[in-house]
Amino acid sequence: MDKTVYLDAARRHCESRGCRLTELRQQVLELVLEHPGVVKAYQILADLQRERGVAAPPTVYRALDFLVEQGLLHRVEALNGFILCHHFDCPHDGLILVCERCGGVEELDATGCLTSLTDAMSAVGFTPRAQNLVLTGTCRSCQA
């Protein structure tokens, strides 16, 4: 998706939820857009400091938290980073595929596949918190 189209859609998405994509939040989102795959908060902080001068870590973390809450980003706990969500506010359980060679990331709707895993957890009385399942391997391009 084109960067301008994505940002316009993100702005409309936030407005439809009754919140604003402020200049700082948009700038953080733009910085995430510049990184293919998983990006870490400290990288966004460094990029923001390069563009704005002084920027404190809490500023970046608050902006990233907002973007996650609005469904524009996914926090990938297993990789200690963030990825873009190309279909805002995913109503499904995600399966995130990360290429170990190029760092590319693809998100799949894994709701159907994860049903038996969820059932098995329920059977033993375990309730997981919502999160995406991350699998690493090699993408089609890198295999070629």
Please write the tens of the pLDDT for every residue from 26-60.
999 999 999 888 899 999 999 999 998 888 999 99
The domain defined by 3-84 folds into Arc Repressor Mutant, subunit A (1.10.10)
pTM equals 0.81
Least confident stretch, 78-82, 90-94, 104-108, 126-130: 90-94
Residues 33, 27 contacting (CB under 8 angstroms) = no
pLDDT per residue as tens digits for the range 109-137: 777 778 888 889 999 999 887 667 888 99
* pLDDT in the model for residue 111: 76
* pLDDT in the model for residue 87: 78
* pLDDT in the model for residue 93: 64
**CATH assignment of 94-143, among 3.30.530.80, 3.40.50.720, 3.30.1490.190, 1.10.1760.20:** 3.30.1490.190
Mark 73-98 as b/e (b = at least 16 C-beta within 10 Å).
bbbbeebebbbbbeebeeeebbbbbb
Q: Do domains 3-84 and 94-143 have the same CATH topology?
A: no
